[in-house]
Amino acid sequence: MAAEVSLPVPISFVSGRYLLFSSDAVTYLRREHNICGVLMGTLPQAPQQNVFLGLPLELMPEETKLLVEKGVARIVDDFRYHNDAMRSLLQEDRRKYLEDLNRDGQNVSRIISGRKEQRREKALQKVAQKAIARSSSPQVAVAENAEEELFESPTRPGSSMASSSSNVSLSSISITPATTYPLLPDQPPAEYNMDLPQVPTSYAVFAHLHSQGYFLSPGLRFGCQYMAYPGDPLRFHSHFLVYGFERDQEIDLMEIVSGGRLGTGVKKGYLLGFAAEPEDSSSEVRTFSIEWAVLGPSRRDFEVIRQLSVFSAIIHHNPTAISLWTKQCNYALHDGRHGLHHVRRANPTLLHQRIL
């Protein structure tokens, strides 16, 4: 069961970025409000790679503004809050916090020493089993014991000291906390709240698609502003490449053509949208989906027409061949060849004229 999250969720503003450091808050926003964000933290166990990342989670300005407007989150000046909180921290609280960290380190050392003891016991059991097997054949056991005595190194008197030093090193394990929540309160005071972030003109389209239940993520991977998913991106592929613009903004035709071709090439729709009244936050948002289609007949369509003209004389005198050939042509024309297929639908007598 997920832990309860106190609302509004504090979003830390650090160096121009909007970050979330709480895993419970990240899970809550993803599950309840369709906010995914982008993980940007390095995993301690795999620091030399950037395929799998961890906390903190970075939010887009659009996501941050949307959450604040819905009353789910608030923006906190994290730098100023931590500096002031650390200066005003009592000495007793600081000492208690360090003692808790030391206690956690001792617990970790006990776990590690317990695992080492288990491995040691398993090794001793294997040695005992080998000794039992050797004792079953005395001659072999005598020869093996002689070899072991010849090549075995003498016991060192400092072995006990080495084991004791290892115990000391285990007891001195230090814990570096990932968050300051145990030391500082979960909810910073309201005096550290910040204003809404500056967002691009595409925010109206972002908010509109989010209200329709879409998950949105940055679209840099496909050369657009956002990628719209019908559900959680871990379960669905994106359906639209989203681009928002102003109502009176001029758009180059080449951008529309390239966006449509790109969307069709990756099996997505290219979605354009704008707010009817940019000054009104509750204004209607209009969207258009563009898909690229083949214009004109393809080389295969011309080959079908050529074959029809070559065998027209034979087909003209054989009604059965006409029916069979028409079925074959219909299959060829419907096989993804939009150009000639649309021409035939517009002029049904075209194929008949070609045959006759």
Residue 355 CA: distances (Å) to CA of 28, 286, 323: 66, 48, 11
> In the chain, what are the domain boundaries?
9-88, 93-171, 203-290, 299-355
Cβ contact 325:355 at 8 Å: yes
Predicted confidence (pLDDT) per residue in 117-139, tens digit? 999 999 999 888 888 887 776 55
Who wins on pLDDT, 64 or 101? Answer: 64
277/247 Cα distance (integer angstroms): 8
What mean pLDDT is predicted for residues 224-228? 96
Q: Please pick, among 65, 268, 270, 341, the residue that the annotation labels catalytic.
A: 268
What mean pLDDT is predicted for residues 179-183? 68
pLDDT at 233 over 90: yes
Predicted confidence (pLDDT) per residue in 135-149, tens digit? 776 555 555 555 555
Active site residue 208: no
What mean pLDDT is predicted for residues 60-75? 96
pLDDT at 303 over 70: no
pTM for this one?
A: 0.65
Of 17-31, 181-195, 298-312, which gets the smallest average pLDDT? Answer: 298-312
pLDDT band at 13 (very low <50, low <70, confident <90, very high): very high
Of 121-130, 239-248, 277-286, which gets the smallest average pLDDT? Answer: 277-286
What mean pLDDT is predicted for residues 294-316? 56
Of 105-109, 192-196, 306-310, 311-315, which gets the smallest average pLDDT? Answer: 311-315
Q: State which fold the 9-88 domain adopts.
A: MutS, DNA mismatch repair protein, domain I (3.40.1170)
The predicted structure's pLDDT at residue 308: 55
The predicted structure's pLDDT at residue 305: 57
Which of 201, 196, 204, 232 lies closest to 217 in space, CA to CA?
232
Calculate what percentage of the chain has a pLDDT beyond 90: 39
Residue 130 CA: distances (Å) to CA of 76, 126, 140, 180: 65, 6, 12, 53
The predicted structure's pLDDT at residue 302: 57
pLDDT at 54 over 80: yes
What mean pLDDT is predicted for residues 266-295? 84
Residue with tokens 């595409």: 202
Instruction: Name the most confidently modeled range: 47-51, 164-168, 293-297, 330-334.
Output: 47-51
pLDDT at 189 over 50: yes
pLDDT band at 94 (very low <50, low <70, confident <90, very high): confident
Active site residue 96: no
Calculate what percentage of the chain has a pLDDT beyond 70: 70
Cβ contact 250:266 at 8 Å: no
Cβ contact 244:274 at 8 Å: yes
Q: Please pick, among 116, 237, 334, 352, the residue that the annotation labels catalytic.
A: 237
Active site residue 317: no
Predicted confidence (pLDDT) per residue in 25-45, tens digit? 999 999 999 999 999 998 888
Q: Please pick, among 192, 203, 229, 243, the residue that the annotation labels catalytic.
A: 229
Q: State which fold the 203-290 domain adopts.
A: Trna Endonuclease; Chain: A, domain 1 (3.40.1350)
The predicted structure's pLDDT at residue 90: 76
What mean pLDDT is predicted for residues 206-228? 95
The predicted structure's pLDDT at residue 215: 98
pLDDT band at 350 (very low <50, low <70, confident <90, very high): very low
Instruction: Name the most confidently modeled range: 96-110, 158-172, 177-191.
Output: 96-110
| Burial tier of 132 (Cβ tally within 10 Å: 0-12, 13-18, 19+) | exposed
